[in-house]
Amino acid sequence: MADHGEVFTPAWMVEAMLDLVKEESERIDSRVLEPACGAGNFLIPVLVRKLATVQYRYGRNEFEKRHHALFALMCTYGIELLPDNAQDCRDKLAFVFNGFLGVDTSDEWARSARTVLAANIVQGDALTMNDPAGLPIAFPEWGYLGKGKFQRRDFRYDSLTQRASFEGTLFGELDHEDLFTPVKTYPLMTVGQIAEQVNL
Ligand SMILES: C[S@@+](CC[C@H](N)C(=O)[O-])C[C@H]1O[C@@H](n2cnc3c(N)ncnc32)[C@H](O)[C@@H]1O
């Protein structure tokens, strides 16, 4: 415990801290990164807040509700040094997401959430910005384009941190597109296609 600073923030304090950025924490498309996310003590309440907004905006339209719930998850990111904590974080976020949609773990929405979480909750060192193999951490920038289509482009974390210093946010809108080239660009995907990638 002492080796890795595994001291976890109590729920009341997390809520009080998130209230300081209340609007951002409730916005579906605000991209939130916790660089030492542990088992998700911050990320879980962030997802809960985003999903409350999804329910409020899209609760009466099941298609839009499901797609925007997945997009809310897509905007939730973490880095965690220890593999068991990282997996715990993914599992807890998946539990919240599946519960919100009322699906079990074999459902395509749950499988697509696992694909997203495998990419968004990265095991690695937030200080060196490398994964356990010593390779640079990369994060997907997901977009929901409407009509059931998602876009994904992966960027190196070290270049995103430079980008944040330009724009003030992790994936800010830019004129400097040439400076920040994705390491991978995917074709547009449906939820079914994202679910198919679950074991890749
Ligand atoms: C103090 S806990 C906090 C967890 C969570 N943020 C919370 O407040 O409950 C710190 C977590 O960061 C992880 N950690 C420590 N050094 C790290 C590093 N360089 N990069 C990523 N994670 C790290 C630890 O494994 C631990 O799970």
pLDDT in tens, 79-88: 999 999 999 9
Q: What mean pLDDT is predicted for residues 154-159?
A: 94
pLDDT at 41: 96
Counted domains in the chain: 1
Does ligand 1 lie within 6 Å of residue 125's CB atom? yes
User: Average pLDDT, stretch 162-190?
Assistant: 72
What is d(CA 196, CA 200) in angstroms, rounded to the nearest whole number?
A: 8
How confident is residue 8, by pLDDT bands cut at 50, 70 and 90?
confident
Q: What is the pLDDT of residue 80?
A: 98
Is 70 exceeded by the pLDDT of residue 193? yes
How many Å from the N-terminal Cα to the C-terminal Cα in the chain? 32
pTM, whole model, 2 decimals? Answer: 0.91
E-strand stretches of the chain: 32-34, 76-80, 121-123, 138-146, 149-156, 184-185
Range(s) of the domain holding residue 152:
2-199
Mean pLDDT of all residues in 151-169: 80
CB of 36 sitting under 6 A from ligand 1: yes
Mean pLDDT in residue range 6-19: 91
Q: In what order do the strands lie in the sheet with 76-80?
A: 32-34, 76-80, 121-123
The pLDDT value recorded for residue 200 is 47
Going by CA atoms, what residue is nearest to atom 15 of ligand 1? 4
User: Looking at residue 75, what DSSP letter applies?
Assistant: T
Distance CA 30, CA 26 (A): 8
pLDDT beyond 90 at 115: yes
Q: Is 81 in the pocket of ligand 1 (CB under 6 A)?
A: yes
Please work out whether the CB of residue 38 comes within 6 Å of at least one atom of ligand 1.
yes
**Least confident residue range of 27-31, 129-133, 170-174, 196-200:** 170-174
Q: Can you give the pLDDT at residue 3?
A: 59
- Give residue 85 CA to ligand 1 midpoint distance, Å: 9
